[in-house]
Structure 1
Amino acid sequence: MAEKVSKQTTIKEKVSLEGVGLHTGQSVTITFKPAPENTGYVFKRIDLDGEPEVEADIAYVVNTQRGTNLEKNGVSIQTSEHVLAACVGLEIDNLIMELDASEPPIMDGSSKFFVEALEKAGIGELDAEREEYEVDEVICYHDDESGSEIIVMPAEEYQVTAMVDFGTKVLGTQNASINHLSEFKAEIANARTFSFLHELEALLDHGLIKGGDLNNAIVYVDKEIGEETMKKLRVAFDRKEMSVKPNGILDNLTLHYPNEAARHKLLDVLGDLALIGTRIKGKVIANKPGHYVNTQFAKKMAKIIKAAKRNNVPKINPDIKPLMDVNDIMNILPHRAPFLLVDKIYTCTDTCVIGMKNVTMNEPFFVGHFPGKPVMPGVLQVEAMAQTGGILALRSVPDPENYLTYFMKIDNVRFKRQVVPGDTLIFKLELLAPIRRGICQMQGYAYVNGKLATEAVLMAQIVKSK
């Protein structure tokens, strides 16, 4: 049976929210609209001529001061992370987000209202399969200046842990985790943004947080407040009286959770890593995360994923029982030792097959093919690829044991690297067109050590043997 795959999603109908931008203070309406498969997340500035679009792509990050800010061709999107976190948390893959200003509304400083709006719009499946990058090794980014570090390691789900330590008594050390995105709505979405008093003063001095009030930003008081500072805060937030409560929070705002700061940092991580553009299957651990380190890690991941796509290397878990072992293969293919060159089949769908061969020193062809420095003959690599493709071709008939595949043509063969004893060859063959009149056209690849070794275009004919 084929591997289980999940489908891409979008919303079923449009939905809008109104508010103000946290830093700009501008009134803004954001309208979420359904998007076709493979669109991803796209911001659209409907207040500008031509309604230019800015894709939620790590390549467009221009600065991370108090938010993750994007710019494409001079068109800006500010503080993108909260709305993107809502999209990721609800496992929505494709979305158009129309804005009539540069910054989405801050709402209450969390993702809660975005989540509610998107759920109201309804979430539906599309035909295309969801793309996912399966992490198979530990990947790390460390920032020497801040001591912040983010790593990702193999896991069965997209999981995230955020650990924060700002070196202050009022906040202390906190952490938060989710083991599945389904936990986002209940555990993370309503965690609000926060700031320390010393940061707040600096932001006010620089004319920022014009849309801030005590309902959308938790303020941790990490210093003594003088009368001059208190006056400035009363003016900024249009309040007659302000105070610091025993838990060190400015005014009377009640925390949703004791570790709300860590939960919001986790929310930010999810939103910032959405800019990678590909869903991750792995566990992310973020120690002292911030928008800068988050986006630097996202850049590194995007580069790794791009290289993996370029190499197109299939992921095989040797601990999982294969779809077909050598005995199953011999029930379909007529080949036998020493000319059966496929050991296992891991995936076989209507359009793609993935197989494997362990190349050992005992292969009979090594006896005479460069015996002093054994190398697997390229023609046998192509033959092994063709045998794997034969499994895919014979899938189209109900009784494959009664059919044979004869290869009619091999084009565009390229040998990229040597295959030697001890290597494991991974084969991937994909149909280039539907099978018609028994004719099967396939693009074939053979990989070794995570690199492309051989590629070719194969054409075969399926013929009844009895």
Structure 2
Amino acid sequence: MQSTIADVVAFSGKGLHTGASVRMEIHPASGNHGIVFRRIDLPGEPEIPALAEFVSTTKRGTTIAKGEASVSTIEHIMATLFACGIDNALIKINGPEVPIMDGSAEEFAGLIYKTGVKKLDKPRKSYTPRKEIHYKDDSSEAEIRIIPAKDYSIDLEIDFNSDIIGRQRAHFDQTSDFLKDIAPCRTFVFLEDVMPLLKSNLIKGGDIDNAIVIADKEIPNEEKEYLKSAHPEIFTSDIKRGYINTSGLRCENECARHKLLDILGDLSLVGIPINARIEAKKSGHSINTIVAKIMRNDLMESGAIPQYDPNKEPVVDINGIKKLLPHRPPFLMVDRISEMSENVVVGIKTIGINEGYFIGHFPDEPVMPGVLILETMAQVGGILVLNGVDEPEKYSTYFAKIDKVKFKKKVVPGDVLVIKMVLTQPLRRSIVCMRGEVYVGNTLVCEGEMVAQVIKNKE
């Protein structure tokens, strides 16, 4: 069964990059809510689902965004929620960054473990990749392999060609002690990489206590003096080659374990538990989130066949559909909406012999035209898109592209079409991308990908 946090917990600190004070509260949420961030400091308190398709940048951490709202450096809290088995939570935050705390997830994990989890009455789903996934970034030599398996595990290796760090490995599986062995491991940076950011004052919340700073090369005296004079709060003693932190490492392979923490958080953006063995080399936020998006798309494409229960009240009935779509009979191709979430909608269309097109297509063997099946898919997808905008009656959606369409079986009078449409990318610049499947019972009759433009054309 799904779970949520047992009670509200709060954390306060500063953002790593802005240095601004921020407060973050994690609230219990109902089943199928997922992990959602709410920017309570912005007008309307916009919400951003913690899903891979909402990743906007991975520069110096993982950032998710929806519209003008964004939250950055989410990986540590996401890893903690995953490790605690929390599927649903509302995270209220009054700034653009999750607080960096001490550069690890130790404070997050300690309080959340202490607070505990609450079981919900919704079944917990999981995702098993349909086939092995392999992704490699030739420029960075980063590489991740996803192998379907019964249980979730990660084997990670880092190698920065540094004799200070050396080659390190870390492992996670269901028997791992996240609170003791992974959560306390801090983020790390090479001084040569962070120097331009320090000179540009772009790490306002960083100090020697919330990051491992590594001087991999000999540092010129002039740079030493600059660091000590410009950032005395960080560099308090003589700067020598090696680990600059006076407190030392928390474990021998702390850098690799921190990368393990990062990948746990980034891959949790798939949205549900993963049944796979992960092999990662030289991984970082960029490749982590790319692979999360690949798995997320695979999940949405391979989701369970939607089932139609005529006894169940529709999520949107025909009157509600008329408020969302400009179409009217005989060209309104949707009877009801049986399911709808942030990214998925399921619509129903009953095919009757009295449909006008059967008069000529074909009189002796009535078959629903394939283009009208596509139109039905487009209308169902349009309901999902328009349901998320203000004043939907002022908008229309238009085809921009149709791709990878396959007609698997004829649709004839008496069939009930169950149309499932999934957003593969969030709405951006009035363009929306969707993938659709149409079923009759458990039989797939049509599938394809669509791109549509959403235009406000009414006042």
Query: 1:119 offset after TM fit, Å?
Result: 2.0
Which amino acid letter does the alignment assign opposite residue 415 of structure 2? Answer: N
Secondary structure of the corresponding residue to residue 16 of structure 2: coil
Matches for 1:171-190 after TM superposition, within 5 Å: 171-180=165-174, 183-190=177-184
- 1:223 and 1:104 map into 2 onto residues whose CA distance is 31
Q: Hey, what does 2:270 align to over in structure 1? A: 276
- 1:237 and 1:30 map into 2 onto residues whose CA distance is 29
Matches for 1:71-90 after TM superposition, within 5 Å: 71-90=65-84
The answer to whether the Cα contact below 8 Å between 1:32 and 1:118 also exists between their aligned partners in 2 is no
Go from structure 1 to structure 2 and tell me whether the alpha carbon gap of 1:237 and 1:291 turns closer, same or farther (over 3 Å shift).
farther
What TM-score results when the alignment is normalised by the length of structure 2?
0.66
Query: 1:136 offset after TM fit, Å?
Result: 4.9
User: Do structure 1's residue 412 and structure 2's residue 427 form an aligned pair?
Assistant: no
Range moving further from structure 2, 226-235 or 154-163: 226-235
2:283 to 282, 289, 294: 289
Query: 1:200 offset after TM fit, Å?
Result: 1.4
Which amino acid letter does the alignment assign opposite residue 186 of structure 2? Answer: R
Secondary structure of the corresponding residue to residue 92 of structure 1: coil
Go from structure 1 to structure 2 and tell me whether the alpha carbon gap of 1:181 and 1:216 turns closer, same or farther (over 3 Å shift).
farther
Matches for 1:48-447 after TM superposition, within 5 Å: 48-180=42-174, 183-234=177-228, 235-238=230-233, 241-244=236-239, 248-309=242-303, 412=415, 444-445=441-442
Query: 1:141 offset after TM fit, Å?
Result: 1.1
Go from structure 1 to structure 2 and tell me whether the alpha carbon gap of 1:93 and 1:237 turns closer, same or farther (over 3 Å shift).
farther
- 2:6 and 2:245 map into 1 onto residues whose CA distance is 41
Between Structure 1 and Structure 2, whose CA radius of gyration is higher? 1
- 2:127 and 2:272 map into 1 onto residues whose CA distance is 7
- 1:220 and 1:251 map into 2 onto residues whose CA distance is 8
Query: 1:274 offset after TM fit, Å?
Result: 1.4
Query: 1:96 offset after TM fit, Å?
Result: 0.9
The answer to whether the Cα contact below 8 Å between 2:35 and 2:90 also exists between their aligned partners in 1 is yes
- 2:72 and 2:191 map into 1 onto residues whose CA distance is 22
User: Do structure 1's residue 17 and structure 2's residue 11 form an aligned pair?
Assistant: yes
Query: 1:191 offset after TM fit, Å?
Result: 0.8
Go from structure 1 to structure 2 and tell me whether the alpha carbon gap of 1:180 and 1:73 turns closer, same or farther (over 3 Å shift).
same
The answer to whether the Cα contact below 8 Å between 1:17 and 1:117 also exists between their aligned partners in 2 is no
Query: 1:253 offset after TM fit, Å?
Result: 2.5
- 2:282 and 2:135 map into 1 onto residues whose CA distance is 12
Go from structure 1 to structure 2 and tell me whether the alpha carbon gap of 1:198 and 1:298 turns closer, same or farther (over 3 Å shift).
same
What TM-score results when the alignment is normalised by the length of structure 1?
0.65
**Paired-residue identity, %:** 40
The answer to whether the Cα contact below 8 Å between 1:244 and 1:251 also exists between their aligned partners in 2 is no
Query: 1:412 offset after TM fit, Å?
Result: 2.6
Go from structure 1 to structure 2 and tell me whether the alpha carbon gap of 1:411 and 1:255 turns closer, same or farther (over 3 Å shift).
farther
The answer to whether the Cα contact below 8 Å between 2:227 and 2:235 also exists between their aligned partners in 1 is no
CA deviation map 1:317-348 (0-9, x unaligned): xxxxxxxxxxxxxxxxxxxxxxxxxxxxxxxx
Query: 1:245 offset after TM fit, Å?
Result: 6.4
Which amino acid letter does the alignment assign opposite residue 205 of structure 1? Answer: K
1:27 to 21, 32, 36: 21
* Unmatched 5+ stretches in structure 2: 308-412, 418-439, 447-459
